[in-house]
């Protein structure tokens, strides 16, 4: 099977799996009709969908079939580990609801942020990490999670994505720090 056909088949299979898991973030969808706690909570809930959608949008923009496979694989592993822990550990949320540890919102948003950083560089990764941190903050502020839940979700998302993702073969710009110098490293893979 040619490489492009294999990537397309992989992309379709993994995108289907990602979609199923993506809809199940925290076991429920975002309620756009009923105002929950406040604007910060609602924005955090929406950002849990926007960051993965942004990653998928950049994958489409760069026509990056390999990136599609890597993102969907990392998101699938991230959410499988997250839900496995949620239903194994059975910790209570600050508001008394079940399945607190770890945070699914934090897991998927930090998974997306790490994918954007490692695959396409800090240009996309830094804003994504800022938004992912906001999502984590909003979950704590809404009394949906404790800090440990968000930190564990973030760690799961970042580690699984770091292990699965490879840099894109386009231009990469990275900060470089060393003894007595600071600068930018510019590279391109072929």
Over residues 44-73, the pLDDT tens digits come to 778 888 899 999 999 999 888 888 889 989
**What pLDDT does 111 receive?**
95
Q: How many C-alpha atoms does 101 have within 13 Å on its Cβ side?
A: 11
- HSE of 163, CA atoms in CB hemisphere, 13 A: 10
Q: In a 3-state reduction of DSSP, which class is residue 18?
A: helix
The confidence score (pLDDT) of residue 33 equals 36
Looking at the DSSP bridge assignments, the partners of residue 188 are 171
Lowest mean pLDDT among 35-44, 82-91, 109-118, 124-133: 35-44
Contact 113, 51 (CB under 8 A): yes
Strands (E), the chain: 171-178, 181-188
> What's residue 190's pLDDT?
47
Under 8 Å between Cβ of 25 and 48? yes
The whole-angstrom separation of Cα 110 and Cα 107 is 5
- d(Cα 126, Cα 134) in Å, to the nearest integer? 13
Is pTM beyond 0.85 here? no
Q: What is the mean pLDDT of the chain?
A: 78
The residue among 158, 169, 168, 134 whose CA lies nearest residue 75 is: 158
What sign results for the dihedral spanned by CA atoms 117, 121, 126, 128? negative
Mean pLDDT across 90-98: 84
Residue with the larger pLDDT of the pair 12 and 148? 148
Res 39: pLDDT = 75
Measured CA to CA, the distance from residue 159 to residue 155 in angstroms comes to: 6
pLDDT band of residue 176 (cuts 50, 70, 90) is confident
Q: What angle do CA 117, 140, 20 make, to 5 degrees?
A: 60
Bigger pLDDT: 16 or 82? 82
Separation of alpha carbons 43 and 40, rounded Å: 5
What gap in Å lies between CA 112 and CA 55, rounded to an integer?
6
Residue 91 tokens read as 């910790």
């Amino acid at each position: 099977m040619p490489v492009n056909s294999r990537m397309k088949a992989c992309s379709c299979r993994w995108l289907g799996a990602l979609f199923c898991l993506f809809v199940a973030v925290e076991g429920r969808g975002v309620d756009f009709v009923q105002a929950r706690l406040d604007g910060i909570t609602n924005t955090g809930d929406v950002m849990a969908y926007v960051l993965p959608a942004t990653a998928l949008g950049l994958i489409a923009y760069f026509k990056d079939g390999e990136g599609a496979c890597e993102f969907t694989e990392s998101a699938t592993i991230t959410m499988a580990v997250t839900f496995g822990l949620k239903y194994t550990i059975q910790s209570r949320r600050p508001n008394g609801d079940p399945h607190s540890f770890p945070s699914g919102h934090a897991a998927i948003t930090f998974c997306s942020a790490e994918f954007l950083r490692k695959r396409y560089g800090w240009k996309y990764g830094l804003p994504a990490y800022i938004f992912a941190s906001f999502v984590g903050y909003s979950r704590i502020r809404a009394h949906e999670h404790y800090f440990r839940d968000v930190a564990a979700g973030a760690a799961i998302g970042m580690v699984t994505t770091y292990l699965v993702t490879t840099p894109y073969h386009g231009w990469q710009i990275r900060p470089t720090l060393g003894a007595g110098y600071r600068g930018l490293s510019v590279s391109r893979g072929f």
